[in-house]
Amino acid sequence: MPEERSTVETVKEARQGVTGHNVRWVLLASCALAIVAMGIVFLLFGS
């Protein structure tokens, strides 16, 4: 049986993604705006 080679990567190489870019704040702001928009629609058209 052939030997298996283990791949050694740093944490940064293994992550395969971009961190940062204020994604958390964009998600929070968009959720807050969606809730406000739904509230306005409910006040205008709700029973």
Give the pLDDT confidence score for residue 23 in this predicted structure.
85
Mean pLDDT in the chain? 85
State the sign of the Cα–Cα–Cα–Cα dihedral 8, 9, 10, 11. Answer: negative
Lowest mean pLDDT among 15-19, 20-24, 27-31: 15-19
Q: pLDDT-based confidence at 32, cuts 50/70/90?
A: very high
Give the pLDDT confidence score for residue 30 in this predicted structure.
97
Enumerate residues 6+ apart whose C-beta is below 8 A from 39. Answer: none
CA distance linking residue 29 with residue 37, whole number of Å:
12
Question: How far, in whole angstroms, is CA 43 from its chain's centroid?
Answer: 30
Q: Which residue would you say has higher pLDDT here, 41 or 12?
A: 41
DSSP helix/strand/coil, 32: helix
Angle at 44 between CA 38 and CA 47, to 5 degrees: 95
